[in-house]
């Protein structure tokens, strides 16, 4: 009887190139899908683009670009020189988005009841 883990172990042992071939395009597609869904939600509910919306949209574009550059560096150049840039830039953007979203929501909730005027 085969162990359930056999296919997973085989997948985990794939060559490093195959991992990159799956990792980077998956996240590029996710980032572009998030951007698309953000835009569709704003159109569907007839929402005005706020600065928070603009920050998230720009961040998703930056994420997709960073993933693309990481993929080119990792798969084609095989240099891995940009691994630290890749890691730290994604963390910095996520941290910046979190801080800005908290600031935006707190300012709206406490000071300004009209979200279109907030920040």
The predicted model scores a pTM of 0.76
**CA end-to-end span of the chain, whole Å?**
62
* Residue 115 pLDDT class (50, 70, 90 cuts): low
Q: What is the mean pLDDT of residues 74-90?
A: 86
24, 82 contact by CB (below 8 A): no
- pLDDT, greater one: 68 or 111: 68
Residues with Cβ within 8 Å of residue 46, at least 6 apart in sequence: none
pLDDT tens digits, one per residue of 99-111: 999 998 888 877 7
pLDDT of residue 119: 43
pLDDT of residue 43: 95
């Amino acid at each position: 009887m085969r162990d359930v883990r056999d296919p997973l172990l085989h997948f985990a042992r794939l060559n490093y190139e195959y991992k990159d071939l799956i990792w980077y395009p998956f996240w590029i597609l996710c980032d572009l899908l998030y951007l698309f869904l953000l835009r569709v939600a704003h159109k569907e509910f007839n929402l005005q683009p706020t600065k928070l919306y603009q920050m998230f949209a720009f961040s998703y574009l930056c994420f997709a670009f960073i993933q693309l550059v990481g993929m080119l560096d990792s798969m084609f150049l095989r240099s891995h020189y940009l691994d630290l840039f890749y890691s730290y830039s994604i963390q910095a953007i996520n941290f910046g988005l979190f801080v800005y979203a908290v600031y935006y929501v707190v300012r709206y909730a406490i000071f300004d009841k009209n979200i279109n005027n907030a920040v």
